[in-house]
Chains A and B, each alone.
Chain A
């Protein structure tokens, strides 16, 4: 069974840093496209970043230069390093697996971890 478990969220001051983790089971992270999607309180879904199976990484303009997506193949875990955090980064962050079957879409999601940026 495919499972994604998000962790690492919490309260951080503006300008601070946080690293989110996503432990995967039931499949191999490095063989798949993996992504982070966030949802601000009471708002819709916003794509944040993706890492391809080959290692290429891409970011939304809103986080480019501040966030870094990576993975640890030995731990089958995805990460999101978030630096220079702003109040507008406050959201639930979901890691997810991307499928390219019949168009790019997300077929499995983590449960989410809440990041709150506030002084």
Chain B
């Protein structure tokens, strides 16, 4: 089974900060990686797929990069509505979709 490891597990940041979250796969997954944002009490929302493709309607301050085993989600200028938990997900071993443990972005 492919394991997904996110770091950090939480980060404190201020509005306007640049935030970077990393996700590492236990084996190569090409670019079959997606990122989701989840706010308390809500369903996750797709941000990025194919490692770097921005989902329609998602602000351009979100970007993704990486391939193989190492991936990054970057928020270029953190906005108040971006405080949430972020999850990566690999789609290489479909039908089993594996998620990372999550990164909580908190207000500093």
Contacts and interface: CB of A to CB of B under 8 A. Distances in A.
Interface of A: 35, 37, 44-47, 50, 52, 58, 60, 94, 98-99, 101-112
Interface in B14-35: 30-34
Task: Identify whether the interface residues of A are mostly helix, strand, loop, or mixed.
Answer: strand
A49 to B, nearest CB: 9
Task: Identify whether the interface residues of B are mostly helix, strand, loop, or mixed.
Answer: loop
B100 A44 contact: yes
10 contacts: A35-B95, A44-B102, A47-B98, A50-B95, A101-B49, A102-B53, A103-B91, A106-B34, A109-B44, A112-B43
Interface of B: 30-34, 36, 42-46, 49-51, 53, 55, 87, 89, 91-92, 94-102
A58 B95 contact: yes
A47 B43 contact: no
